[in-house]
Structure 1
Amino acid sequence: MSRIIGLDLGSKTCGVAISDRSQLIARALKTIRFESDDYDDCFDQVLALLDEQDVHEVVLGLPKHMNGDIGIRGEISVQFAEELKKEGVKAMLWDERLTTVAAEKILLEGDVSRRKRKKIIDQMAAVQILQNYLDRKRNGSLPE
């Protein structure tokens, strides 16, 4: 099996997680930084990372409002996924509601300093997105 990358796309950063080859475990990889709302730069960095890691499948967090509606941030993620698909990347959108909250809780329980949390929170959110996807995939309960 090949590895999968998970992305938590923000307005200035993109947290990146990667699976192991057996697609069982997600781990933090890096945080991509770019100028505010410069998604072209972020996209180029993601493509370079996919090439470097020899990955052809991405799970991209889809931010939704708690009522399930997709707002502006969600539309940006949808467009980002569509652009990845045009490049031949298998791109799956994944509901990311509360993943940052879960990541923050894990870091707090691990007694990680506020300064360090700020640097890695996006990566940890990407780990949550990817791990949730891997678990559902393994259990055969992915949405069609």
Structure 2
Amino acid sequence: MATAPYLATTELVRLFDDGDSEVRKAASAAIRVLHEPASASISERLVAAYVTSRAFPDNFGDLFHTLEQSLRLLPSTTIIACERAVEHAGVELGDLSRATAAISRDIVTVVLRLYRQGDATMRDRCLNVVDKLADVGAYGLLEALQHER
């Protein structure tokens, strides 16, 4: 299921909330293929389910890495993932001794892409996430913002 999530989306979504953390981790691997053309039709649904699941807090790095590499428009539900990731990771996003700091760059890139592709409401939400990223000293934020000017 993780390599072809479009074949069993409903089952995969249920596994994101499984009681076993290893099952949740394995199900989270499906996020790595969202950028593939076959997954285009389910990406919005899968992202929405993933960001509200039990799997997200421990495995959100794969989502942001995949979205950062995607060449398609980002699903609108991605903003929820950004908000939750910043809320969950907090100051770890700016602490270079933590692996979470590496994910910070992908989150920043995704938020800025959402800002560019979004409407006024989406841009406001993105700016709120950027403010929170600045508050926690997210790694890569200042450099990314300098390139936006």
TM-score for both structures, normalised by structure 2: 0.29
Greater relative contact order (CA < 8 Å, ≥ 6 in sequence): 1
Of Structure 1 and Structure 2, the greater helix share is in 2
TM-score for both structures, normalised by structure 1: 0.30
